[in-house]
Structure 1
Amino acid sequence: MKKVFLSFAALAMVLVSCEQDQNDANLDITQEVQVDMSDFTLLVADDDIAGKSANAADKCHSMKNLEYRLQKNPGLQKKMYDIEYQTRKAIAMKNGNGKGKPGGGGGGGTPPPIYTGPVSIPVVVNIIETVDGNVTQAQIDSQIAILNQDFNNNNPRTSNVPSEFAGLVADTDITFTLANVVRKVDTRTSWGTNDAMKLSSQGGIDATDTSNFLNIWVCEIGGGILGYAQFPGGSATTDGVVIGTDFFGETAAGGIYGKGRTATHEVGHWLNLRHIWGDGRCRQDDFVADTPTSDAPNYNCPSYPTVNCQSNDMTMNYMDYVQDDCMYMFSNGQNDRMRALFVPGGAREGLVN
């Protein structure tokens, strides 16, 4: 009997020890995934710091479209907050520091890892044109080729990245394939930025299965606007990217914005990237650790170094506002943000599952 008692006592000590080890492990995991959301915002600075380029092009209306969508859908803010929270948790786990950017205070649980496999995104191009065939197949093919070039670090101008940023250039391993082209003739010359082109009820073209396809609408937006995108978390009905006809693919009509990089910029938004200056002054961030802080967009083709907020701007980043020939990189941190969307439960998981 004494032997049996001693055996049970020993077993109890082992179980208590294992339980303590498990509790310690859970504590470590909880500490690992804590993130700070105190800097998260969906607002643009009150002053119009974006302005326009030298040729009066209003490069991107993604944030203004977001303001419109937030007014229409009160639940959107919470949904985007949750996506951002999961993104920061995933990046914190990948980095192994539990802090993400910025670090401290948040929730527990084990975050999903950053998706590491190749990603292939099928694209449906919805064209609303004033004359049938105005947007040519060559134009469409050139746009798909440019997206593949840029997202796979094959832009020939990337060799111009300054040494300061050379180690940060990302190959996102994301490719795009043309799945379908849908055309409609409409004489409207200004569709605006309130998503009418995405709805057949308003004369546009309804989206194709936005869980599994990237939808791009090509039309006359008007107002000198090059394009805009919907961020992850918005309505499936309007999910996708809109590009002005003159700025889709390679087009002489687009001038300095006629080399297809508007789509690269807008697809970046669609994959959860913010403008590189964070749509605010020096204290407002783009939520990416390896992109320098800036206080406004850059236009045309700025020289290096261009200094703002006491650091050199990454003007050649696709998420700035420079002309097409002068943007030629995503950063590793931006790649992490995009890839966090593809994990199970992520906002774009349907594209890989």
Structure 2
Amino acid sequence: MRKVILTAGVLAVLLVSCEKDSSESQNNATDAQEQEVVVDMSDFSLYVESDDLTGKSSGAVEKCVSMKNLEYRLGKNKGLAKKMYDIEYTTRKAIALKANGKGKPGGGGGGGGTPPPIYEGAITIPVVINIIEKFPGEVTQSQITSQIRILNEDFNNNNSNTSGVPSAFAGLVADVDITFVAGTINRVVNTRNSWGTNDAMKDPSQGGIAPTDPANNLNIWVCEIGGGILGYAQFPGGAAATDGVVIGTDFFGENSAGGIYGKGRTGTHEVGHWLNLRHIWGDGRCNRDDFVADTPKSDRANYNCPTYPTTHCRSADMTMNYMDYVQDDCMYMFTLGQNERMRALFVAGGPREGFVN
């Protein structure tokens, strides 16, 4: 009996030892696999190639000044460039690891195993809406309700216009699986005519509204930006005190005053920036990119409602992408590559992990 017990004990030790060796081997193999992924950052840039590439429509509407706001923030925060470089490096590595089959299913939904490099589960984002209006009720509840509905349509591939996607891009349409839920609505009355693009609307000392818990809420500011500007957003990596999206009063939700830009898609575009998407033409000539593999290169923004194909840089532009500048009715898709880029933000240690952990 003693001999059997001793033998069983020896076997147990051997089994534990084997399991430990196996675990260490798997970890070493995983480390080696990750080291095999080469991340090329040679094309990374934080600046537009030239000012004219941000462009204005024929109606003098400047759709988005996110890149201009980024330049302003880079000038004020000397550590921001390095932080954004690191986020970009991590994002590219995650996408490369996923493409190479690294990481096991389960990390996105608590299923165990090695967490996948890109978050795989459904995502819910609470939205705090900060309204700065010239008189009480200038921004209506209807605008608020419609903006949340439109965000949910667009980030869940329920935009009815998506049925018109050209066959060349039909296999690239993504369901991002992000749901937005309206939370606190903050309102202040201020008769200021223009808030500009340097984040004054986020500063209570200037009459604005401070963000609410930006690690766990998407903050949207609604105010008159001025200069015909529709909106702008802060990219991941920026200061918590200014984190969020700004949308002009006329272009928030469904609003006839916004004209062709009054169908709520400015919100979709700017939230795309907040989730680390660049303009689809890369804010540069044909040698600049938006860092997404499945979006064609272009050297300019598109406006109004272009016919397909509209060709630049020897390929048809994806004018219907939410990250172009076309009118609201004519943008209706994110790509699979853009989806991966956004989802890389939500893994443990990522800049938007607070929304899923």
Give the TM-score, by structure 1 length.
Answer: 0.89
Q: Which residue of 2 aligns with 1:235?
A: 239
Q: Which residue of 1 aligns with 2:158?
A: 154
Give the superposition deviation at 1:97.
Answer: 7.4
Whichever residue aligns with residue 216 of structure 2, its letter is N
Give the superposition deviation at 1:318.
Answer: 0.1
The superposition leaves residues 70-95 of structure 1 with CA deviations (integer Å, 9 ceiling, x where unpaired) of 00000000000010011011101111
Q: Which residue of 2 aligns with 1:271?
A: 275
Alignment partner for residue 84 of structure 2, among 80, 103, 111?
A: 80
- Partners of 2:189 and 2:239 lie apart in 1 by 25
Tell me, what secondary structure is at the counterpart of 2:124?
strand
Q: In the alignment, is residue 136 of structure 1 matched against residue 140 of structure 2?
A: yes
- Partners of 2:97 and 2:234 lie apart in 1 by 27
- Partners of 1:23 and 1:177 lie apart in 2 by 42
Please tell me whether the aligned partners of residues 198 and 238 of structure 1 are also in contact (alpha carbons under 8 angstroms): yes
Give the superposition deviation at 1:344.
Answer: 0.4
Q: In the alignment, is residue 60 of structure 1 matched against residue 64 of structure 2?
A: yes
Please tell me whether the aligned partners of residues 130 and 185 of structure 1 are also in contact (alpha carbons under 8 angstroms): yes
- Partners of 2:334 and 2:98 lie apart in 1 by 19
Q: Which residue of 1 aligns with 2:291?
A: 287
Tell me, what secondary structure is at the counterpart of 1:163?
coil
- Partners of 2:123 and 2:149 lie apart in 1 by 16
Give the superposition deviation at 1:201.
Answer: 1.1
Please tell me whether the aligned partners of residues 93 and 111 of structure 1 are also in contact (alpha carbons under 8 angstroms): no
Q: Which residue of 2 aligns with 1:335?
A: 339
Q: Which residue of 1 aligns with 2:248?
A: 244
Report matched runs for 1:282-321 at 5 Å.
282-321=286-325
Report matched runs for 1:1-353 at 5 Å.
26-31=31-36, 33-96=37-100, 113-353=117-357
The superposition leaves residues 275-302 of structure 1 with CA deviations (integer Å, 9 ceiling, x where unpaired) of 0000000010100000000001000000
The superposition leaves residues 219-269 of structure 1 with CA deviations (integer Å, 9 ceiling, x where unpaired) of 000000000000000000000000000000000000000000000000000
Please tell me whether the aligned partners of residues 130 and 186 of structure 1 are also in contact (alpha carbons under 8 angstroms): yes
CA 1:111 to 1:117, structure 2 compared with 1: closer, same or farther past 3 Å? closer
Tell me, what secondary structure is at the counterpart of 2:232?
strand
- Partners of 1:143 and 1:350 lie apart in 2 by 23
Give the superposition deviation at 1:23.
Answer: 5.9
- Partners of 1:20 and 1:120 lie apart in 2 by 37
- Partners of 1:350 and 1:135 lie apart in 2 by 29
- Partners of 1:277 and 1:149 lie apart in 2 by 24
The superposition leaves residues 147-183 of structure 1 with CA deviations (integer Å, 9 ceiling, x where unpaired) of 0000000000000000000000000000100011000
The superposition leaves residues 179-206 of structure 1 with CA deviations (integer Å, 9 ceiling, x where unpaired) of 1100000000100000000010111001
Tell me, what secondary structure is at the counterpart of 1:148?
helix
Give the superposition deviation at 1:26.
Answer: 3.9
Structure 1, unmatched stretches of 5+, are 1-10, 99-109
Please tell me whether the aligned partners of residues 303 and 327 of structure 2 are also in contact (alpha carbons under 8 angstroms): yes
Please tell me whether the aligned partners of residues 98 and 116 of structure 2 are also in contact (alpha carbons under 8 angstroms): no
Give the superposition deviation at 1:46.
Answer: 2.0
Structure 2, unmatched stretches of 5+, are 1-13, 103-113
Please tell me whether the aligned partners of residues 65 and 229 of structure 2 are also in contact (alpha carbons under 8 angstroms): yes
Give the superposition deviation at 1:25.
Answer: 5.8
- Partners of 2:27 and 2:246 lie apart in 1 by 50
Q: In angstroms, what is the RMSD of aligned CA positions?
A: 1.9
Whichever residue aligns with residue 335 of structure 1, its letter is N
Q: Which residue of 2 aligns with 1:103?
A: none
CA 1:47 to 1:220, structure 2 compared with 1: closer, same or farther past 3 Å? closer
Q: Percent identity?
A: 72
- Partners of 1:315 and 1:207 lie apart in 2 by 33
Give the TM-score, by structure 2 length.
Answer: 0.88
Give the superposition deviation at 1:112.
Answer: 5.5
CA 1:340 to 1:260, structure 2 compared with 1: closer, same or farther past 3 Å? same
- Partners of 2:136 and 2:264 lie apart in 1 by 21
- Partners of 1:343 and 1:25 lie apart in 2 by 17
Give the superposition deviation at 1:60.
Answer: 0.1
- Partners of 1:312 and 1:150 lie apart in 2 by 22
CA 1:168 to 1:20, structure 2 compared with 1: closer, same or farther past 3 Å? closer
- Partners of 1:21 and 1:94 lie apart in 2 by 18
Tell me, what secondary structure is at the counterpart of 1:167?
helix
Please tell me whether the aligned partners of residues 221 and 227 of structure 1 are also in contact (alpha carbons under 8 angstroms): yes
The superposition leaves residues 321-348 of structure 1 with CA deviations (integer Å, 9 ceiling, x where unpaired) of 0000000000000000000000000000
- Partners of 1:322 and 1:25 lie apart in 2 by 44
